[in-house]
Amino acid sequence: MALSRYGPKIRDFETELNGYYPTISDTRLSRFKRKMIRIMAGLHCSGSTSSLKFRASKNQNMTWPDSSILTNLQVRGYPTAGDILFEEKYIFIRSLENRIYTDEELIRLPDISPEHCHYKEWQIRKCSARRLIQYLTSKQRHLEILEIGCGNGWLSHQLAGIPDTKVTGLDINFTELHQAARVFNGDPNLRFVQGDIRSGILQDQLFDCILFAASIQYFPSLKKIVYFCLSQLKPDGEIHIMDTFFYRRREIEGAKRRTAAYYSSLGDLEMADFYFHHCIDDWLSFHYRILFRPYTLMNRIRGGKDPFPWIMIKK
């Protein structure tokens, strides 16, 4: 495919990237540019090289994959420099942490081999997913669900199994989103969208449930993202936040130092700039309920090891 028509966008991207992150090395800049070209040209490498053709959608900010393989994936036209930078760092860290899963592993999640290094973590995610599915199933009505920061789509896929439910998995991370769309292509109740909800990418849609599962920590302001999402809810809609640590105000500085030390040990201290530590007090300005309290006496007696609260915020 000829790439000459993408030249102006590539030049704009390079200028934006240099301005956004002036300390980036020439080698990494070249890698980002190559990835930008692949995305613009509709090419993406995931295990093996595959070619996608794109056609324009009714929304000028979107393109749709013109392929029977990925008809469940909606891709924004052009990622920002910030999106590309975050994805490069995020995937790099995920690889070091052994959190990039094969298709065969992904389709079985949250079940995973007991020998896997994250087996115990997946037992926690499995329990929290089961609680959420039971809660939503008990509503016994049609639900439109949006998962923000869906990553490889394993939880969106589980939610799509709830009767009379339509699920949208949203993420700016094209690498994992592409895998999600490929692996879960056969599910008619599930689709994936690449982009940032704050850009208005889903402004014409309302949801019964908006979910942040292990993703709210990538948003700098909990209050701002929650207020934004409230505008995307139906009248009786709910926001659910789970699988994320929250801190007392006095604990945040210590948590920031530990996060910086952790990413520094992995060779990418700059990733700490994309990870945010939210305070318990941030819930207080909303109409919220705590649906799961990890440190109650009953949970301790039961031997529960889930350290994360489950917060539900009503519109």
Segments in 21-164 forming alpha helices (H): 26-40, 81-96, 103-106, 119-137, 154-159
Q: Domain 47-314, CATH 1.10.357.10 — does that match?
A: no
pLDDT tens profile 6-28:
344 444 444 544 444 444 445 55
Per-residue pLDDT band at 210 (split at 50, 70, 90): very high
**78 or 115: which leads in pLDDT:** 115
pTM over 0.85: no
Q: In this structure, are residues 17 and 32 in contact, taking their beta carbons and an 8 Å threshold?
A: yes
pLDDT tens profile 236-274:
999 999 999 999 999 999 999 999 999 999 999 999 999
Per-residue pLDDT band at 79 (split at 50, 70, 90): confident
23 contact partners, CB below 8 Å, separation of at least 6: none
Per-residue pLDDT band at 203 (split at 50, 70, 90): confident
94 pLDDT exceeds 70?
yes
pLDDT tens profile 214-224:
999 999 999 99
Domain with CATH 3.40.50.150 in the chain: 47-314
Q: In this structure, are residues 212 and 148 in contact, taking their beta carbons and an 8 Å threshold?
A: yes
The pLDDT of residue 76 is 64
Paired with 233 in beta bridges are 207
The pLDDT of residue 31 is 55
Compute the half-sphere exposure of residue 14: CA atoms within 13 Å on the CB side of its CA: 15
SS3 218: helix
Lowest-pLDDT choice from 52-56, 171-175, 282-286, 295-299: 52-56
DSSP of 103-132, one letter per residue?
HHHHTTTT---TTSTTHHHHHHHHHHHHHH
In this prediction, residues 222-233 reach a mean pLDDT of: 97
In this prediction, residues 117-134 reach a mean pLDDT of: 96
CB-neighbour burial class of residue 96 (10 A; exposed 0-12, middle 13-18, buried 19+): middle
Q: What rounded mean pLDDT belongs to the chain?
A: 82
SS3 205: coil
**36 or 212: which leads in pLDDT:** 212
In this prediction, residues 34-49 reach a mean pLDDT of: 41
Per-residue pLDDT band at 55 (split at 50, 70, 90): very low
In this prediction, residues 279-305 reach a mean pLDDT of: 81
Element (H, E) at 260: helix 252-265
